[in-house]
Amino acid sequence: MADMDDRETALRALDDRLIELALARASVEDVAVICGETLRRAGVALDELRVGARTLHPEIDAIGVTWAADQDLDSGFWLHEDESRDEWLRSPMYHMLTSFEQRLHRPVHDPDCPMDFPVLQEFRDEGITDYLAHMVPVGTRALDKREGFILRWISRQPGGFGAADLATLDRMAPRVVAACEPGLERAIARNLLDAYLGPRSGAAVLDGSVRPGRTQSMEAVILVADLAGFTAASDTMDGETLVAFLDRHFEAMVPPVNAENGEILAFLGDGFLAAFDVEGDPMTACGRGVSAARAIHDGIEALRREDPAVLPVDISLHIGTVRYGNVGAGGRQAFTVIGPAVNLASRIEALCGALGCRVLMSAEVAAHLDPAGVRDVGAHAVRGMPDPVPLFSLKEG
């Protein structure tokens, strides 16, 4: 009786702790660790807890966090494309999501245990003695939309979970999910904002810097990238083919900007506008912009060697003071950069084809680079500018 009293005391304390974690918007990782360690200390025959939840990310379908008594915490994710894998289609989790079965218990130590999922035999071979899973829906339409969490509890101890253990885990499942949900929602919001707005803009929205018309001055290197010949090519494709065609190009064009700590502020049909914050060091910022431009160009050229249908990319670079912030009206807002420096960068890019240069930059950018790496292409008329604008390109090699 004393042991059961001690367990009940520990569980009540865990209830209070989970409320604190929910209010603090704690991470799924923190909740999993605290729950796993507390239940084990309370005498539950628990060796592993995995918390899985779906996301709203355009690329990531679900995240998983695994606490194990004798291993480091493990976090991972599944992509949307993983949904077709045979291993997933034959798993207990897929069964629960598609059948809406909210509790699945398989005491794999028992010779009479139904081995109706291939992974159960793997569990038995690995020394796992008991497997319990809960699907906990979240939201009023959670079952229809498959929104919620799946918890997987595993024991490696002789005899697996006892009746009291199972009752405890059944009780704890919704409490664990309630503690995870606020933090996960916050993380999903940040990930979505990062994916669609970029890290700088996403953080500003989440932190409440959303007053219309509020902007700040920022010195930045502006990079404008645009696919040459896209309009003509797009006229020959249906919508689905066109999207896949465009995404293939962006897969080569976007990572170099991220790798150089730049931020894509807007996709402009077949191109984008990116900014590299100078942060008091124009030489480094210009270098990062040029490195990104080279990598974009090299990535596209590598694709073109594999597939002649891939389009070349024109890129311009300019450095100057811009206004960065929140603009819009009528309930629709956007974070972007505006100003003469942005306009000039865009107009320089329009000259790439005429001048036969895939990368063009202003004299202001070239001044911060090694002269041995740039080539003077002369001064040229630029729309909206009263005088010809000196332009430079990159030397080969």
Residue 161 in 3-state DSSP?
coil
Cα-based torsion angle of the residue sequence 16, 52, 204, 271 in order, rounded to the nearest 10 degrees? 180
Per-residue pLDDT of the chain (397 residues; tens, 9 = 90+): 447 778 889 999 999 999 999 999 999 999 999 999 999 999 999 999 999 887 665 566 677 889 999 888 887 766 655 555 788 788 888 888 888 889 999 999 999 999 999 999 999 999 999 999 999 988 765 445 557 889 999 999 999 999 999 999 999 999 999 999 998 888 777 766 666 666 666 666 666 666 666 667 789 999 999 998 888 888 878 778 888 888 889 999 999 999 999 988 888 878 899 999 999 999 999 999 999 999 999 999 999 998 888 899 999 999 998 887 666 665 666 667 788 888 999 999 999 988 999 999 999 999 999 998 899 999 998 888 888 999 999 987 5
Q: What pTM was computed for the model? A: 0.64
Q: What is the DSSP pairing of strand 359-362 with strand 313-329?
A: parallel
51 strand-pairing partners:
65, 151
Structural domains for the chain: 2-197 (3.30.450.40), 200-394 (3.30.70.1230)
Q: How many helices (H) and strands (E) does the chain have?
A: 14, 14
The Cα–Cα gap between 17 and 179 comes to 9
Residues 6+ apart with CB under 8 A from 71: none
Q: How many CA atoms lie within 13 A of 143 on its CB side?
A: 5
